Amino acid sequence: MADVKPISNTPSSTPKESTRTKTTFNLQNIGKATPKPAEEKKTDEPKIATSTPVFDKPIDMDSLKKVWNEFAELKKNNVAEYQLLKRGFTIQDSKITITLNNAIEEPFLAGIRTSLIAYLRDKLSNSSILVNGVLPEFTESRPMIYTNKEKFDYLVSKNPALKDLQERFGLDADY
């Protein structure tokens, strides 16, 4: 059988001769130790950043609403996401909070959260914008009403005059 050699535009060289720092996979190098890159000299001087820091613009409520509605129009083909975005929101510092009606809306928000945040950050030039969904906690929990007697008692609690009508006409709540 003929030996298979990798195709290369550069002249063949052994791993020891190579000055490339990019890691490449070569069938000839399998099982051999990879050369360690030369260590950088350690200095006590701090490194100076070459890029200038980006300052976030303050969030204006009018521009936020405009950009928010633009993103909502992009999601108009998905009704659930569109309705979620057309709902009101609150903002505190750079955190935007959407009140969810139920737990079913959480996956919809999770599906668009990253693209929404990226869109808002780009259009508003603010890299600290976050979007969260909040489910309101219901403090009063009503028991489920099943029987006719339970339904009648519930209605009597809403309107006590029903009890007088029941007694006056001699009605039975079970029917």
pLDDT tens, 127-159? 899 999 998 876 566 778 888 888 999 999 999
Using pLDDT thresholds of 50, 70 and 90, give the confidence band for residue 24: low
Please state which CATH class domain 61-134 belongs to. alpha beta
CB 4, CB 26: distance < 8 Å: no
Q: What is the DSSP string of 37-76?
A: PPPPPP-SSPPPPSSPPPPPPPPPHHHHHHHHHHHHHHTT
How far is it, in rounded angstroms, from Cα 152 to Cα 65? Answer: 47
CB 89, CB 97: distance < 8 Å: yes
Could you tell me what percent of the chain has a pLDDT over 70? 66
Domain with CATH 3.30.300 in the chain: 61-134
pLDDT higher than threshold 60 for residue 26: no
How far is it, in rounded angstroms, from Cα 128 to Cα 121? Answer: 7
* Type of residue numbered 131: V
Highest mean pLDDT among 8-17, 42-51, 163-172: 163-172
Using pLDDT thresholds of 50, 70 and 90, give the confidence band for residue 49: very low
Q: How high does pLDDT run on average in the chain?
A: 77
pLDDT higher than threshold 50 for residue 82: yes
Length of the chain: 175
CB 75, CB 87: distance < 8 Å: no
CB 91, CB 64: distance < 8 Å: yes
Check: pTM over 0.85? Answer yes or no.
no
Structure tokens at 129: 């914008």
Q: For the residues 63-76, what does the mean pLDDT come to?
A: 92
Highest mean pLDDT among 66-70, 87-91, 170-174: 66-70
